[in-house]
Copies of this chain bind each other. A is one copy, B any other.
Amino acid sequence: MSTNRITLMHGAGGSIMHNLIKDRILGVLKPYMGFEVPLAALDDAGVCNGIVFTTDSYTVKPLFFNGGDIGRLAVSGTVNDIAVIGGKPMALSLALIIEEGFMLDDLDRILASVEHTCKEAGVDIITGDTKVVERGSLDRLIINTSGIGTRNPLLDANLKHVNRDIRWLLDSNIRAGDRIIVSGSIADHGMAVLSAREGYGFASSICSDVRPLNRLIDRALEAGGVVCMKDPTRGGLADLLNTWAERSHVGIMVYEDRIPVKESVRAAASFLGIDPLEVGNEGKVCIATVADRAEHVLAAIRECDEGRDAQIIGEATDLFDVVAMRTVVGGTRIVTRPVGDPVPRIC
């Protein structure tokens, strides 16, 4: 593949995608810096005049997988992007791009899933668009959801526990000493999608975690002391931690034995030679807190069904500026930013 063309890695959430966006897209777009959170922050959402605004297109293949479908993904992903920055989701848009010949029954199932997930998240569709392209011009269906939200009313009380000048929960907020929590087991979503696509025998034992997380995030904010949140989607935990280290100018140390990975997922990933740290999730959030609030936040989210396997997996440090992991066998390895997600089209 010539270097003057787009490759799959340009969309896979790792270093190649980050470079495309930073060098090429921001180079041409010259983003306006007057917004509260501008495009150039490259965070999960932008903010202007107190309105949180985010967008995501969903190209997942296949459309239906164990534990979810593109409709549930499209609502959850956008709700979560609003929530992790400190927003309260207010309304979503729903843009359908459909290949000619798509089964109306499948469309009905996906729309029902959109409706169900919206109700679960407490949000509603307010505007939409429907496009159809001729057969062969699209792989069945793509959905874009964008979302708007207001400032989460729990955010100010949460920030009272943080002695720092923070207004939104940005990737650049983390300081040495902050603790890092993950809300549950990693790599479930990517491995479930891969299983459904490739028809592996372990498909039935691995289930996507896709779900809206705004209620769990509210519990964390009620506990207080959260400085930053982000959902480890494309590129997985490895990409997220490197993004935090880079944007906050800190090192991050995590402990392998504290990172929850389901046994079935670990076995499948090992069989396929895939690092679970690099696999995308759609129902997990990483939360950075000030040190003395980490146990409170952990206890609060463990009370939610979707956070019952949460763990404090590490902390930020000023002793080095990379992401390092103390392994179960006793050594320490650098966790680099993956070049891309090992499983393409998970979202």
Residues of A within 8 A of B (CB): 1, 4-12, 17, 20-21, 24-25, 28-32, 35, 37-39, 45-49, 51, 53-57, 59, 61, 90-91, 93-95, 97-105, 107-108, 111-112, 114-115, 124-134, 136-139, 142, 144, 146, 148, 150, 344-345
Contact = CB atoms under 8 A, between A and B. Distances in A.
Given A46-B126, A127-B46, A6 B101 contact: yes
Nearest to A43: B127
26 contacts: A4-B104, A6-B102, A8-B134, A10-B98, A10-B130, A11-B98, A24-B104, A28-B111, A31-B125, A31-B126, A32-B125, A46-B93, A46-B127, A53-B91, A53-B126, A53-B127, A54-B93, A55-B127, A55-B128, A55-B129, A57-B144, A59-B133, A59-B137, A95-B146, A133-B139, A138-B139
State the copy count for this chain. Answer: 2
A97 B57 contact: yes
A39 B21 CA distance: 33
A5 B104 contact: yes
A131 B11 contact: yes
Contacts of A21: 128, 130
B130 A99 contact: no
Contacts of A54: 93, 127
Judged by DSSP, the binding face of A is mixed
Given A90-B48, A111-B25, A5 B126 contact: no
Contacts of A5: 100-104
Top 5 closest pairs, chain A to chain B, by CB: A11-B132, A46-B126, A55-B93, A146-B146, A32-B124
Given A28-B112, A55-B129, A111-B29, A91 B11 contact: no
A166 to B, nearest CB: 20
Contacts of A148: 48, 51, 53, 148
A91 B48 contact: yes
A61 B6 CA distance: 19
A297 to B, nearest CB: 27
A128 B144 CA distance: 11
